[in-house]
Amino acid sequence: MKMLSTYRKEMKIAMRGFYFYIEIFIAVVMLLILLVAIKENPDSKQREYVFYDARPEVVELLFAKYIDEGKIVPAADTEIVMKPASFAVKNRDTGSTVSYSFDSAKTIMARTMREIDVDDGRIKKTIFLLDTEEDVLRLSHSSGQVGAIVSLGDRGTFSYRYILQGYETERLTNLLYVYNARSVDVLEQEMDRQAVRELGSTERLNARESAVPALITFAGSLMGFFIVMSYLFLDKDQGVIRALAVTPATVWMYLLSKTMVIMTTVLISSSIVVIPVMGLKPNYLLFYPFLLATTFAFAAIGLLVASFFDSMSKSFGVLYLLMIAFMLPGFSYFIGSFDPVWLRFFPTYPILYVFKMIMLGKPDVPYVLTASAGFLVGGLAVLAIANEKFKKTLTV
């Protein structure tokens, strides 16, 4: 009962301050962005630079087939300016490295094609047909996009060389090997002959829904991490927690009540974002426990970090460094080809993918429950360390 009384008191104090309403306001802004600025099925911004080492009539014949099928739509030629650049290209098969240096800028007109999704008509990617292999290398290097060099062999078959950036997953690289091992027509015939047994839901999140897990993670748990530190330093500045330095039994309840306030705020703000966008699609029985467990863990980390500093200004360096580190898995989430192993050790990495599973409505229940328990236990351990630290150093 004393814990609930402390929580109610802290909640009333929080509602009289502005941090509580800042998070609610941010949630409303995020909801408006999702509903207004992000389309459910937007056109892809992916670009691919291709050089065909073949006679023009062969290239025309190749694309004419896809144009007739509606898979490719010609677009107006694009003017591209290439800046001076120096870089090295490593051959994945032989291990040899070739260095390139281009001292002057170059402007070209690239023939442009758009690959279309025949199901919904949206643009899957934009293809730029270039005149030389060097142009492909320069543009792939400067833009970070995939480049391809397609050569016509003596037997009338095409061979492919892809220019990648080096951070692509092994799965993507192997897929490129398999996809170009045989002609597209043969692959389609082989796939049509395959016996397919559906193991589960093939439903996917659209672009708007895919943004929800990231917003919940970064504006939920990470905002909780930041705001709990703000509450602590505000109490220090106002002298509210002076007595805690000499009453060790109260420190634990005080810290726990702060995390409960953050959990309540995140619960409200996340619901503002999730329910209008996702409706009844997510498994809410798993969503809310996992949300509270992760928020609790990050709030505990915020308390631990705050215990080492006397003011918010002194903690800015560590605060921003940690927040940037926690945001890094977002690159892997939105850029599927970027998935280095070291990124998986960041706590926000599993959070993003568990939220995504939950949003789909049919998550791996044992995995989600295990992850929830892991964050809860980890949060309790961090909170216990923060409690001991505050007992020794809690001063105004």
pLDDT digits (tens, 9 = 90+) for 190-241: 555 655 555 455 567 888 888 999 999 887 777 888 888 887 787 777 666 6
Q: pLDDT averaged over the chain?
A: 82
Residue 321 has pLDDT above 80, yes or no: yes
Report the C-alpha gap between 79 and 307 in whole angstroms: 56
Cβ pair 104, 138 in contact under 8 A: no
Instruction: Provide, rounded to the nearest whole percent, the portion of the chain with pLDDT above 90.
Output: 21
Side-chain half-sphere exposure of 94, counting CA atoms within 13 A: 6
Beta 85-90 vs 146-152: how paired, if at all?
Answer: unpaired
Mean pLDDT calculated for residue range 11-24: 80
pLDDT of res. 42 = 75
pLDDT score at 289: 95
**53-66, pLDDT tens digit by residue?**
888 888 888 888 88
Separation between Cα atoms, residue 105 and residue 82, nearest integer Å: 5
pLDDT > 60? residue 172? yes
**Nearest-CA neighbor of 361 among 301, 285, 282, 302?**
282
At residue 163, the pLDDT reads 82
130 and 136 in contact (C-beta within 8 Å)?
yes
pLDDT score at 162: 85
Backbone angles phi, psi at 327, to 5 degrees: -85, -15
pLDDT value of position 387:
84
Residue keyed to tokens 């060097």: 134
Tokens for 299? Answer: 């709030």
pLDDT of residue 191: 54
pLDDT attached to residue 15? 80
Mean per-residue pLDDT, 29-51: 84
pLDDT digits (tens, 9 = 90+) for 303-314: 888 888 877 778
pLDDT on residue 374: 95
Interval 159-173 mean pLDDT = 76
Q: In whole angstroms, what is the distance from residue 376 CA to residue 384 CA? A: 12
Per-residue model confidence as pLDDT tens digits over 254-267? 888 888 888 998 99
Please compute the mean of the pLDDT values over residues 76-101 and round it to a whole number.
Answer: 88
At a CB cut-off of 8 Å and minimum separation 6, what does 380 contact?
A: 300
Higher pLDDT, residue 232 or 140:
140
The answer to whether the predicted template modeling score (pTM) of the entire model surpasses 0.95 is no
Span 284-293, average pLDDT = 94
Q: Is the pLDDT of residue 132 over 50?
A: yes
Least confident piece of the model among 148-152, 206-210, 336-340: 336-340
| Residue 396 scores a pLDDT above 50 | no
Tens of pLDDT, residue by residue over 108-126, are 999 998 888 777 777 888 8
Phi, psi of 18 (to 5 degrees): -100, -15
Rounded Cα distance between 78 and 328, Å, is 33
Give the least confident one: 181-185, 224-228, 338-342: 181-185
- Which has the closest alpha carbon to 305: 315, 320, 292? 315
